[in-house]
Amino acid sequence: MKKVKPALLKGFDQEYLPGEQLQFNALVDLVRRNFELYGFLPIETPSAELKEVLTSKGGTEKEIYALARLAAGDDDEAATRGALRFDLTVPLARYVAMRERDLAFPFRRYQIQRVWRGESPQAKKGRFREFYQCDIDIIGREKLSSLAEAEIPSVIYSVFTKMAIGDFRIRINNRKVLKGLLQAQGVADAAAPAVLRALDKVDREEKAKVVQDIKREGVTEAAALELFGLISDKRDTNETLQMLSRQAANELLAQGLAEAKDIVAAIRQFGVPDSHFAMDLSVVRGLDYYTGTIYETTLVGHPELGSICSGGRYDDLASYFTDTRLPGVGISIGLTRLFSRLKEANLLRPLERTPAEVLVTTLEPKYLERYLGMARELRAAGVNTEVYLESAKLKNQLAYADRKGFRVALVAGETEFNGNVVQVKDLYNRKDENHPLDRLVASVRDLLSRSRKSD
């Protein structure tokens, strides 16, 4: 038969072996569990939306995949009017606008789903065309307290502390402060977005290049240098707030500074220690969409990973769909990218628990019912158990157990059953012991609780 070469599409290639998939799923579960601890509720939205919904905000058409029929077929709305979502924010806006009357506000939702972007895939940099995003947003109706902005870092803190992937910093800034600083340096409002995009690169590009980019927007050299210094100089949170207090104030800067001070104080009340967050003027964020606090999160000692969790406060989520003003604040974790980088940097923790916990080996077919009985007993106690069902030598069954990562193998034949015992093999530490059959569950549980690899 002519064969088709089994291969993946470029950028649609983050596919894992089962062991890696388990590690990935453990991260998803951890993120989800933490979001739920803070009272966020889950939603999922369809993968494909109406094109006019996805493009309502504009500026993203180039990245969107549309649907088409593979073969000419019946009329199909999805194939003519549908496209894949490129983020979880536009679907959220559509969702809230559609279901406003059914939701309780502030609406706190989390969403962990795949998104698709027709970007140039650079696998090395962890950019993919299909990837998971984990988003939370708090959406108010007509109003939203700035305390919501202060709560977000406590959720980020909870997630990454429990993920135990090393020391991290939640870096925050305020868009009003940034725009106030630009105003103070005489930057025209129309030039502000471009100047902010240039300033967003202070950590990655040469000073000369950034200053050049700012000047190109009609800003004087002195002002460009001043802005570069303000943004790039390293200060702690209190120094930053003091420095801002000393700046020649305009109304916007004063307002932003007051907001930032309140939010910094509240973040501390929310229990995030100063060791893990900082007001940092070099956090800029590209999107013009943000209007208050903005967030980035970086792993200390791993600047190459970039921000692993970003977002901000916005004034109106769904202005393209509804007249109701829906101010909100949200963050997103790009989990596929994070996972890929953590794997590369060897920062993933080993799993606490795998579905492959106990393998019941089978020596003689006549004992099948007894093997199955052991498995049933263990499963009833919540222990993941597989019975080896092929006919194979014990040696080969144990090789299979090792290959698949089982922790424990049970071995029993005539001798063991006559003595009412079972041989319990600790596959991580290479030890065997006979245990009474009527204490099977207790023996296995005891072993599982201590059978971490000795190294």
Residues 151-190: x where in contact with a copy of itself by CB under 8 A, - otherwise, as a string: x------x--------------------------------
- Shortest distance (Å) from residue 190 CB to a copy of itself: 20
Residue 269 vs 420, nearer CB to a copy of itself? 269
What distance in Å separates the CA atoms of residue 100 and residue 172, rounded to the nearest whole number? 30
Task: Please tell me whether residue 56 binds a copy of itself under the rule CB under 8 A.
Answer: yes
Which range in 181-189, 201-209, 385-393, 418-426 contacts a copy of itself by CB under 8 A? 385-393
Residues 267-296: x where in contact with a copy of itself by CB under 8 A, - otherwise, as a string: --xxx-------------------------
* Spatial CB neighbours of 180, under 8 Å, sequence gap ≥ 6: 249, 250, 251, 252, 253, 254, 255, 256, 257
DSSP letter string over 92-130?
HHHHHHHHGGGS-SSEEEEEEEEEE--PPPBGGGTB-SE
The binder of a copy of itself chosen from 247, 282, 384, 423 (CB under 8 A): 384
The binder of a copy of itself chosen from 134, 136, 139, 148 (CB under 8 A): 148
Which range in 91-99, 245-253, 295-303, 433-441 contacts a copy of itself by CB under 8 A? 91-99
- Shortest distance (Å) from residue 102 CB to a copy of itself: 6
Task: Please tell me whether residue 245 binds a copy of itself under the rule CB under 8 A.
Answer: no
* Spatial CB neighbours of 417, under 8 Å, sequence gap ≥ 6: 367, 370, 437
Tell me the Cα Rg of the chain: 28
Residue ranges in 403-432 that form contacts with a copy of itself under rule CB under 8 A: 403-404
Reduced to 3 states, what is the DSSP secondary structure of residue 243?
Answer: helix
Question: What tokens appear for 49 in the block?
Answer: 């939306």
307 by Cβ neighbours in 10 Å (0-12 / 13-18 / 19+) ranks as middle
The binder of a copy of itself chosen from 159, 253, 266, 342 (CB under 8 A): 266
- Shortest distance (Å) from residue 270 CB to a copy of itself: 6
Task: Please tell me whether residue 39 binds a copy of itself under the rule CB under 8 A.
Answer: yes
88 by Cβ neighbours in 10 Å (0-12 / 13-18 / 19+) ranks as buried
**How many residues of this chain bind a copy of itself (CB under 8 A)?**
120
